[in-house]
Amino acid sequence: QGEEGPPSLEYIQAKDLFPHKELIKEEESLQVPFAVLQGEGVEYLGHASDAVIAISNYRLHIKFKDSVVNVPLRMMESVESRDMFQLHIVCKDSKVVRCHFSTFKQCQEWLKRLSRAIARPTKPEDLFAFAYHAWCLGVCADEEDQHAHLCRPGDHVKYRFEMELARMGFDLQNVWRVSDINNNYKLCTSYPQKLLVPVWITDKELENVASFRSWKRIPAVVYRHLRNGAVIARCSQPEISWWGWRNADDEYLVTSIAKACALNPGQRLAGGTPYSGPSEGNEACDAGFDSSLTACSSVESSATPQKLLILDARSYTAAVANRAKGGGCECEEYYPNCEVVFMGMANIHSIRNSFQYLRAVCSQMPDPSNWLSALESTKWLQHLSVMLKAAVLVANAVDREGRPVLVHCSDGWDRTPQIVALAKILLDPYYRTMEGFQVLVESDWLDFGHKFADRCGHQEKAEDQNEQCPVFLQWLDSIHQLLKQFPCLFEFNEAFLVKLVQHTYSCLYGTFLGNSPCEREMHNIAKRTCSVWSLLRAGNKNFHNLLYISGTDQVSETPAVIGNGPWKEEGVQGCCMSFGLCGHVPEVFSPDVSPTSMAGILRGCEVWIN
């Protein structure tokens, strides 16, 4: 800085931090065969045996005579040379790309180039999302307006927590409260900063509970049924260990969730009586966050809590085995008025292996004689079935029985969001809209710390392949199954899901970068990258389902006789090719049941999983 001029750094544009590399061409006459994105620079351009091939800082582009292959670099899982002249590229979304070259030397050269391009980043800024955002701002004089218009999600995402509390009708005066104990992520780095708990639970008690739950992921409420007041809460496993440790505050918090539901019963009671609001006795609950329920005795005498369902996503064997590592599961003897159910969902290692088998089956030419047996051997559909069974169990408990549910697995960031988010899709038509689906992903997956960076394999300096697993993709496939069976219930279409899968891995947007909200704030990702919801916005007609019928939230009590439909081979193959996943769910409705009703949804799901 000179004495007369302003600081020189003020004149450096953001895009100058991400300069392009010099293009290396195999022939001077070659032209880049695609329109580049802002911030994208082509680094290599050459010929394959029957195509033009290019590598940029964002993608691999192969232009054949009659087709084009476009694959983001971060979508690629591995690349290798086969048969001396062929590049074999395996992608994280199940695609397999093959490219032939005229000579062995040329094939090896492109193998080296591509291997360098897909190497793990050494810092977050190596991911293309940062360069893309910087160059987008560089083309607009008013950077703030450009950022707000093109890069940010809507207010429904920005203010999702407050809007969801109001939409679901939580009584924040007498029954529930928003705790700030996790401000600046001082309690749990993988949890959101605001947590919803019963009003009489103190922050001191929450600290004690955190010391007893794996990774300090305490039970927190994430959904409330408007009609009966039953809630869904989530957490991680208790740290029982072989010593059989107990925690009185944890037991108290879990049972308090059921008691809070009884105090805030919803718009109508079980007998159909309209809910008239909180009684005078509830007001005592708000004073000083008293850690006993004696202040609310006048209400408790007339409000009997429903039996709380604790749904453990693991098998009983796996839960007990976790005690050797300091984990474990709840004992019904210590948690009064609670029932523990184990679902037997597979861990990430089994899901990863299943997906690899599925990808191998889908990348081969289908043999009609053994297609279904080959698909079944991958166990992918079995894993989807167990996930859906767990979600239906939660939805039935909440909707039909009016019971609160607490969901957890081991750490609470893989199987737990799968079950909770899928159950909310079944229960609430809002989450089946484009706007609501965005809120669902942000709230249940991003805010509660699903490890996207590790699971998707784009975490810097991370070499542990065992941390990779298509957990979110598996959940999106379950949504795809529901979309196929209930085509009128979803505002978005299959293209919406396909694009979301692509950009989960592409690193074009910053939405799925990092392992937790704390990490994303640490790297200021919200202001330095674009949001994927700016692309998948509700106004984008390309992603709108023309069959969608809004307002389908009435529960039908009409009984149905439902027959098991056969798996259709062509349906399975078609879905494999179009969505990159697996097959489709048979129709299961009788004429007297509306598939758009809650009863229709749950019955349809029950037929498929049974």
Residues belonging to the active site: 409
- Name which of 74, 73, 70, 98 is nearest 86 in CA terms: 98
322 is in an annotated binding site: yes
Asked if residue 138 belongs to a known ligand binding site, the reply is no
β-partners of residue 97 are 89
Binding residue per annotation — 325? Answer: yes
Could you tell me if 545 and 487 are in contact, meaning their C-beta atoms sit under 8 angstroms apart? Answer: yes
Backbone dihedral region for residue 254 (phi beyond 0: left; psi -120 to 50: alpha; all else: beta):
alpha
- Is 377 annotated among the ligand-binding residues? no
Residue 200 annotated as binding site: no
Place of tokens 């409705």: 589
How many Å apart are CA 212 and CA 433, to the nearest integer?
37
Question: Is 409 among the annotated ligand-binding positions?
Answer: yes
Beta-ladder partners of 87: 81, 99
Q: Is 120 annotated as a binding residue?
A: no
347 is in an annotated binding site: yes
Closest CA to 410 of 343, 515, 309, 318: 318
- 249 in a known ligand binding site: no
CA 79 – CA 88 distance, rounded (Å): 6
Say if residue 359 carries a ligand binding annotation: no
The two structure tokens encoding residue 20: 């392009």
- Extract the tokens encoding 483: 């979309």
- Reported for 517-526, long-range contacts at CB under 8 A and 24+ positions apart, including other chains, are 517/185, 517/190, 517/191, 517/192, 517/193, 517/446, 517/447, 517/449, 518/185, 518/189, 518/190, 519/189, 519/453, 520/446, 521/185, 523/124, 525/124, 525/129
Handedness of CA 508, 511, 512, 517 (dihedral sign): positive
User: Coil, strand, or helix at residue 288?
Assistant: coil
Q: For residue 356, count other CB atoms closer than 10 A to its CB.
A: 15
Quote the tokens at residue 72.
């983001």
**216: annotated binding-site residue?**
no
Does the annotation flag 348 for ligand binding? Answer: yes
Largest CA distance in the chain: 86
Question: String of b and e for 217-237 (b: at least 16 CB within 10 Å)?
Answer: bbbbbbbbbbbbbbbbbbbbb
Strand, coil or helix: what is 532?
helix
Instruction: Answer yes or no: is 70 a known binding residue.
Output: no
**Residue positions forming the annotated binding site:** 322-325, 347-348, 409-415
Residues annotated in the binding site for substrate, as ranges?
A: 322-325, 347-348, 409-415
